[in-house]
């Protein structure tokens, strides 16, 4: 399945002003692969959420990098977002990852929204925290399906490696 | 590229504050957004309206700031509305559940508007 995988890599400083560069790169590659406008918009948000976490949490105000790796295969695009920071507590964040619907406004907390969106917008999300954090986001290509691709939202697959 | 560049236009009308949000509201734009909109949000004397027709990108950073504004306006008992939400932004509001709070606040805006 992965025989013709092609890889593009990009490293940017973990600084918010470079997040648009990550989105532009993603847009270029996903469009080249034939993903739809909606799918690309979904992936832009998911990748940005992973990068936001690096900018906000990974390096404690010290300088560091975000490493993006775009793995293009015939049936999927995977984006790996990696840092060498202190290791974001994704397991704890995963417990808070939920939509805000049905809650009274005063109880609404937005802390878990980033991870929630990653899971809602991608087909697969895997997180490993070992020597930094690595988030692997995958979108499968839905060849010629009339159905809306967003119907297949994968269940939470956040894992923590000891 | 210009379409992506984030900027805000504040239109102070006699009966309300209108803020046009243009371009990509991401983490890089968060500070500018807060600097401009927070002072307006604390002015309870006028309704606050955010116009989103030229908003080309939003993620949890922007949604979180919208929720903070909702809370501030709710505490002040002051009307707050968003208008002209593009479909892709609407989809994220629906997914995250913030649409529910906006429709509630929009109703309040309409009620207050109707009293004048």
Share of chain A above pLDDT 90, in %: 64
Q: What is the pLDDT of residues A119-146, one digit of tens each?
A: 999 999 999 988 899 999 999 998 655 4
Question: Cβ of A117 and B74 within 8 Å?
Answer: no
Low pLDDT (below 70) residues in chain A: 1-3, 143-162
Whether complex ipTM tops 0.90: no
Please give the structure tokens belonging to residue B71: 């809370």
Residue A98's pLDDT is 81
Mind listing the domains of chain A with CATH numbers? 6-151 (3.30.565.10)
H helix or E strand, kind and range, residue A76: strand A76-82
Q: What is the pLDDT of residues B48-97, one digit of tens each?
A: 999 999 999 999 999 999 999 999 999 999 999 999 999 999 999 999 99
Number of C-alpha atoms within 13 angstroms, CB side, residue A42? Answer: 25
Binding-face residues of A in 20-39 toward B, CB within 8 A: 20, 23, 38
Give the C-alpha separation, A106 to B108, whole Å: 17
The answer to whether B44 and B16 have CB atoms below 8 angstroms apart is: no
Contacting A with CB below 8 Å, chain B residues are 4, 24, 26-28, 30, 57, 59-61, 63-64, 67, 70-71, 74, 88, 92, 95-98, 100-101
User: Regarding predicted confidence, which is higher, B100 or A122?
Assistant: A122
Give the C-alpha separation, A45 to A42, whole Å: 5
Query: In A, which residues are within 8 Å of B57 by CB distance?
Result: 23, 44-45
H helix or E strand, kind and range, residue B57: strand B55-58
Mind listing the domains of chain B with CATH numbers? 7-106 (3.30.750.24)
């Amino acid at each position: 399945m992965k025989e013709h995988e092609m890889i593009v890599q990009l490293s940017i400083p973990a600084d918010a002003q470079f997040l648009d560069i990550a989105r532009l790169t993603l847009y270029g590659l996903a469009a080249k692969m034939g993903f739809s406008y909606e799918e690309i918009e979904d992936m832009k948000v998911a990748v940005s959420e992973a990068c936001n976490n690096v900018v906000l949490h990974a390096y404690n105000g010290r300088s560091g990098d975000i490493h993006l790796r775009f793995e293009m295969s015939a049936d999927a695009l995977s984006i790996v977002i990696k840092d060498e920071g202190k290791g974001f507590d994704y397991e704890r964040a995963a417990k808070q990852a939920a939509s805000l619907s049905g809650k009274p406004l005063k109880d609404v907390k937005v802390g878990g929204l980033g991870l929630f969106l990653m899971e809602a917008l991608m087909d697969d999300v895997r997180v490993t925290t070992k020597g930094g954090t690595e988030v692997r986001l995958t979108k499968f290509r839905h060849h010629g399906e009339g159905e809306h691709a967003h119907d297949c939202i994968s269940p939470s697959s956040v894992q923590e490696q000891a | 590229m210009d379409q992506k560049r984030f900027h805000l236009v504040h239109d102070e009308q006699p009966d309300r504050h209108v803020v046009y949000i243009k371009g990509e509201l991401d983490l890089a734009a968060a500070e500018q957004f807060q600097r401009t909109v927070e002072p307006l949000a604390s002015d309870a004397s006028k309704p606050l309206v955010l116009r989103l027709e030229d908003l080309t990108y939003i993620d949890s950073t922007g949604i979180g700031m919208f929720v903070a504004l909702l809370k501030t306006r709710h505490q002040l008992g002051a009307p707050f509305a968003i208008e002209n939400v593009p479909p892709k932004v609407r989809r994220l509001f629906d997914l995250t559940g913030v649409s529910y709070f906006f429709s509630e606040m929009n109703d309040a805006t309409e009620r207050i508007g109707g009293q004048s």
